[in-house]
Amino acid sequence: MTSLATVLLLGLALFAGSFVQSSIGFGMAIVAAPFVVLAAPELMPGALLVTTLSLPVVTLAHGPRDIAWHPLGWALAARLVTMPLGVAAVAMLSTRLISALVGVLILITAVASVTTLDIRPTRGAAVAAGAVAGVSGTAASIGGPFLALMLQRESPARQRASLAVFLAVGGLMALAGLAVAGQFHWQQARAGLTWLPFIAAGYAAAAPARAHLDQGRMQRVVAAFCVVASLSVIARALFS
């Protein structure tokens, strides 16, 4: 059982992740997941999925609600279809393999976040992003970056609002699927709820900074962190 001290220390990672996501639209899971996987893998993915629900709701309540509904609808439909595969991965794979999966997904996210690929928000791209997120967002709580890559030509406000809906609805799907399969338990829920004040603090800290942040530079910094963190997680999973 994870100690309360460990959960509270991990809250600092959630604070940092909340700050990043409040600034660029995604990033809470990819910043916090390496710390959670290394310190308390038994909390994955349920505890992070609880937090996935909270920040998007706050974002939609206090920010512009300019949402790209057409691609978002296709992405959510595809995510629902593939979500059971993510549940099956959590049920069947060992903690070490789940940790390795998290590391690989973070590495892919790091590369994708600084890519120069021009991916348009077509129906096919939205379905592909949603299908991948159905598995990765459920098994590793990392589902937003793939849709963010598709929406990179949209305004920052439209990106944040669209991603908020995707993360909130997708998080509910994932938690429901995990709960039905018996893979979401009280210890994960309690940790996720304990992290909510840290997430609120990260959101509050990002609000006055958003207008002054260089989003491109922040994405590169986050990508560099993700590379180092993902390699650490993969090495720990393979050699521990």
Q: Distance between CA atoms of 102 and 141, rounded to whole angstroms?
A: 9
CA distance 67 to 215: 20
Segment 152-163, tens digit of pLDDT: 777 877 888 888
* Nearest CA-CA partner of 21 in 155, 163, 151, 217: 163
> Where in the sequence is the domain holding 133, given as residue range(s)?
4-239
- Whole-angstrom Cα distance, residue 137 to residue 26? 13
92-114 confidence digits (pLDDT tens): 988 888 888 888 888 887 777 66
Task: Estimate to the nearest angstrom the gap between the alpha carbon of 86 and the chain centroid.
Answer: 14
Structural domain count, the chain: 1
Q: Which of 117, 177, 178 is nearest to 146 (CA)?
A: 117
Judge whether residue 66 has pLDDT over 70: yes
Cα dihedral 21, 26, 27, 33 sign: positive
Q: What is the DSSP letter of 43?
A: G
Element (H, E) at 72: helix 69-92
pTM (2 d.p.): 0.85
pLDDT at 215: 65
Q: Tokens for 189, please give them.
A: 């829920």
Contact 50, 175 (CB under 8 A): yes
- Give the tens place of pLDDT for each residue, 181-227: 999 999 999 999 999 999 989 988 887 776 666 666 766 777 777 77
